[in-house]
Chains A and B, each alone.
Chain A
Amino acid sequence: MGIDTRVAGTFCVLALLALCSMNPVSVYSAGDETPDQKVAEVLVPPAQSNTRTQPNTIDTDYAPYESEMRFATAVGEVVLLEFIPWATARWISKAEWAKVSTNDWWDHIERGWTYDGDNFVTNQFAHPYHGNLFFNAARTNGYDFWESAPFVMSGSLVWEFFGENTFPSINDWASTTLSGINIGESLYRISNVITDNTATGTERVLREIAGTLINPVRGFNRLLSGETAKVFPNPADRLPGSSFIDLTFGARTFDEDGFKIVDERERQAIVSVSYNYGNPFDGDIKKPFAHFQTGVSIASADQTLTSFYSRGILHGWDVSKSKNSHHVLGIFHAFDYWANPAFDMGATALSSSLLSSFRLSEDWSISSSISVGGTIMAATPTEFFIDPEGRDYDFGPGISTNLHAGLNYNDWQIVRLALTAGWIWSFSGSVDAKHNIQVPVLQLKVPLSDVFAIGLRVAAFRRTSSYPNFEDTNQESSISELFLAVKLH
Chain B
Amino acid sequence: MFYHIKNTLFVIILFTWLPLYGQPSVAQASDAKQEPNLLSSIVTLQGYYVRNLGVFSETWSRAVGGYVAYGIYFPEHLMLLLQAGYTRFELREDEIPNRDVDLIALPVLAGVRYYFMTQSIRPYSNIATGFTINTQKGPSPEGITSITSADFAFQIGWGLSVDLVGNLELDLAVKYNSHWRKPYNMTGFEYGAGFAWKIGE
Contact = CB atoms under 8 A, between A and B. Distances in A.
Nearest to B176: A109
B18 A110 contact: no
Interface stretch (A153-161, A225-233, A338-346, A473-481): A153-161
A134 to B, nearest CB: 10
Contacts of B180: 112-113, 170
Contact of A69 (B8, B23, B54, B186): B23
A330 B27 CA distance: 33
A78 B19 contact: yes
B152 interface: yes
A150 B4 contact: no
Interface residues on chain B, size class: 35 or more
A113 B5 contact: no
B98 interface: no
Nearest to A152: B18
Contacts of A158: 12, 15-16
Interface string B14-39: 01111111111101111101000000
A431 B20 CA distance: 40
Name, among B15, B55, B185, the residue most crowded by chain A CB atoms within 10 Å (CB to CB): B15
A142 B28 CA distance: 9
A109 B187 CA distance: 8
A68 B29 contact: yes
A170 B187 CA distance: 14
Interface in A36-86: 63, 66-69, 71-72, 74-75, 78
Contact of A113 (B18, B23, B114, B154): B154
Interface string A408-435: 0000000000000000000100000000
B178 interface: yes
Given A67-B29, A69-B28, A162-B12, A112 B18 contact: no
Contacts of B28: 68-69
A40 to B, nearest CB: 27
A427 B151 CA distance: 10
B73 to A, nearest CB: 15
Interface in A150-204: 150-151, 153-154, 157-158, 161-162, 170
Contact of B18 (A66, A111, A150, A161): A150
A151 B18 contact: yes
Contacts of A106: 4-5, 7-8
A74 B29 contact: no
Of A63, A157, A162, A427, most buried by chain B (CB within 10 Å of CB) is A157
B11 interface: yes
B103 interface: no
B19 A103 contact: no
B79 interface: no
Contacts of B112: 150
Nearest to A63: B29
B53 interface: yes
Contact of B19 (A112, A154, A427): A154
B127 interface: yes
A147 interface: yes
B5 A102 contact: yes
Contact of A144 (B15, B29, B30, B154): B30
Q: Specify which of B21, B24, B54, B176 lies most central, judged by the most chain A CB atoms within 10 Å of its CB.
A: B21
Contacts of B187: 109-112
B159 to A, nearest CB: 16
Contacts of B27: 68-69
Contact of B21 (A105, A112, A147): A147
Nearest to A104: B8
A75 B19 contact: yes
A153 B53 contact: no
A277 interface: no
A110 B57 CA distance: 9
Interface string A203-242: 0000000000000000000000000000000000000000
Interface string B151-187: 0101010000000000000000000101110001111
A292 interface: no
Given A110-B53, A142-B30, A144-B30, A102 B178 contact: no
Given A102-B5, A103-B4, A113-B180, A74 B19 contact: yes
A50 to B, nearest CB: 32
A106 B11 CA distance: 9
A143 interface: yes
Given A66-B30, A142-B30, A71 B22 contact: yes
Nearest to A143: B22
Given A67-B31, A158-B16, A110 B8 contact: no
A206 to B, nearest CB: 27
A74 B22 contact: yes
In this complex, the member of A72, A78, A112, A143 whose beta carbon has the largest number of chain B beta carbons within 10 angstroms is: A112
Interface in B87-127: 112, 114, 127
Nearest to B187: A112
Given A112-B178, A170-B152, A69 B31 contact: no
A485 interface: no
Contacts of A150: 18-19, 21, 112, 114, 127
Interface in A377-418: none
B17 A154 contact: yes
Contacts of A112: 53-54, 154, 178-180, 185-187
The 3 A-B pairs of least Cβ separation, nearest first, read: A110-B54, A112-B178, A71-B24
8 contacts: A68-B27, A69-B28, A72-B24, A102-B8, A109-B53, A150-B114, A151-B21, A158-B15
Interface of A: 63, 66-69, 71-72, 74-75, 78, 102-103, 105-106, 109-114, 138, 142-144, 147, 150-151, 153-154, 157-158, 161-162, 170, 427
